[in-house]
Chains A and B, each alone.
Chain A
Amino acid sequence: MLAVVVVFAIVLPFALNAAQLATATFVVIAAIGATGLNVVTGYAGQISLGHAAFLGVGAYTGAVLGADHGVTAFIWIPAAGVVAALLGAVVGPVALRLRGLYLAIVTLGLIFIAQHVFFNLDGLTGGPQGRAFPAVQLASFDFSPGQVLDLGGITIDSSGLYYFLGLILLAAATAFAWNLRRTRSGRAMVALREREAAAAVMGINVGRLKVTAFVVSSAMAGVSGALYGSYLSFAQPDQWSLLLSIQFIAAIIVGGLGTTAGPVLGCAVVFALPSLLKQLPFLPEEGSGGLSAGDLTSITYGLLIVAFLTLEPRGLVGIANRLRRTGNGSDVGSSVTPKLTVTTPEEAHP
């Protein structure tokens, strides 16, 4: 199964046209960040609306180091993760004091504060006009648009290079999250999600665990943001908005909260949506008023969140498992995806 997925992911770019490849690249890059959000929200059950702020911090770290100081991408990509993680470690203790929903509100505040800072730190972020982001340069690999890598007859263009770099980092992030889930910390996070007080009584240091989850999540968001900015090559501060955070939330819910494959599947749906919806025939031309593709995509994100949570809280992974079970007649998928619920509706409302 894993081998099939790996081969599919490697062969995929060669089967796509330029626009489709660009979408696939965004999906892969976003999936790194979604994997991070899945750790804090899916595993540890803490709602964070501040994910976009960490992506932004990662992106600007990459830009400042890579473009303004000429540091190599071998350093600025990891550094983006480290700086975002540090910010997570600073915000974490505030979150540590708060339970459940207060965290959602504090991270909502974080988004607006971060946007304010991004808009006003002209020297680093270019202010409201935005700034250019550096293309990745890894040793002899040049990721700038227009550059083509020739591997004995197989050519890979700039989008393809970003795709493969993103894929490698995504594989690393996914493997990390998958392993984390099985460690002591990972199981403690699930206990925290299911019942905070019970987890604390069992000897889990709830505060430290929340900060750990938050830091891991921020680090992945930072790396994702650095690549995202670099691939966009230009971004304004309002790129890192509440809407972006909600896209990530939609992605992990659609994919399946707390599952390993969920963030990737979810991103494939959520981050491919804008380009799919743009091709709908009934939409008016861009800028001519009426229903825009942007509005339609935001409406769809919102409805996807509502629909999946009410109809299939286990997401696409849950659907896949169910299909597999009915197909084989055996319970192969049961090792994955604990359901979120503690009480069933019948128990609560007899």
Chain B
Amino acid sequence: MLLDLTYDVGNIWLDSLLGILAVVALMTVSALMLIWLERKISARIQMRLGPMRVGPYGLLQTVADAVKLIGKEDLRPNTADRWVFELAPFAVFVPTFLGFIAIPFTRDWAIAFLDLGVFYVVAVTGLSFVGFLMAGWASDNKYALLGGIRAAAQLISYEVPMVLALVAVSMVAGSLNLTEIVIFQGHIPLFVWQPLAFFIFIVAALAELERQPFDIPTAESEVVGGPFIEYSGIRWSMFFLASYTGLLIYSLLGAIVFLGGWGWPLGEEAGLWLQILLTFAKTSLLVVFFMWVRFTFVRLRIDQLMSYCWKVLIPLAFLQIFLNGLVLVYGWPDGILLLTSGAGLALAMYIIYRAVDTTPREVRMVPARGGGASSVPVSVDATGAE
């Protein structure tokens, strides 16, 4: 069968090689398309056309960019820490790609079916912060250092709520196996039972991906690209590719764990192509959501980011796990899950609403007709010279 990647060639090494090749090829092409998509979506939001010249609707623009980047000089600052600097892109790139090994696209289409699939994906993709720290440290640039430290702090912090949210879901599904989680969602997807976990997952994924409003490590207007500032050419494009691959991984994970993967709503008997289509449709939904958010929100500040994680998301995630535990241990009806999680989501929204002072602030309007004198006398008073 053409699409059966679990097809046994007979040689274990050949099998693995084919699997890895499939992953790299698929993901590179997808990442290129995602870059094009992001540029098109951003253009749509910002009243532009986006790439239009290379190929129909600029489809080949990213290919042209990739060729340009490969042709560029691979610069390394004189004072950089040579090996750390040169290995950093790989430390970001490889873990992101490794995550794909465990992701099932349909019931029997995955490189490997792991019983601890959720655990594996989160653990492996979480490693990439090492690469950011390496890049930030080795570049011998203060912006890069600042960005690298920001990245480390942010990625480690947001790993926690993400894992906790996935734990809560796994409790309900009763498995850490991604395939079994999908099968569990045959009729009702998990985001219905666990809206709070879904919300925490989305927020944590945004932070893990370093996308707006959490693009603090690479903040263009503050640290000018952060850890990547000294990278050029192919090494820079590896960071870039890794960030889009990461986007795809978290979207796939969200689609599989929360939106029912290939199963819901068509069920298990739908054809293979329909299942693949369903997986990709749900993934695209999340991808487009992440991109949409990127162009409509401003950046948070690092202290706000941290306190949001440790004071809001993590306690709520623990609350979710605790409530799930109660429901599951005492065998209460499933409706309680939805009820408690929904209440938790409402609580989260209320906390956000209360934490930020969004009361519209009106400016006072002083009419100016005929040149009245100022109501506040403007003169240097005796408050002490600065």
Q: Do A and B bind each other?
A: no
